[in-house]
Amino acid sequence: MPHFIMEYSANLDDDLDIPALFEKLNETAIGTGVFPIGGIRTRAVRCEHFRIGEGDPENTFVHLTAKVGAGREPEVLKAASDKVFEVFTECLKPIFDKRWMSIGFEMIELHPERNYRMNNIHQKLADK
């Protein structure tokens, strides 16, 4: 973990460079030293149907959710959240400066007893 899930309005297709943004997000998550590399997942959900504010079709949104495993100190998660949001907004700034845009981010800590995972990518990375 984290699992980054980015929802975005379909009217951003021509402006949003998702592969470049995801590369930066993953680099940032790794750079925090808080998250195991093999647990990082990043994906986008294009929202075809949306209404923002008063309904102006030129309004846009991008919302990023980071789901993380439980057990880290609150200060550690806050510092990681601050860094992710800083990089996320920095990447979106060129669009934000020319379009009406809402940017959101939340980090959610998953319940330790109701979060199930199976992952062999950690082993692959350890074998390198």
User: What is the set of active-site residues?
Assistant: 2
- Residues 42-65 as b/e (b if ≥16 CB within 10 A, e otherwise) read bebeeeeebebeeeeeebbbbbbb
In total, the chain counts a number of residues equal to 128
**Using an 8 Å Cβ cutoff, are 89 and 6 in contact?**
no
DSSP 57: T
Within 8 A by CB and 6+ apart from 29, the residues are: 2, 4, 35, 40, 80, 84
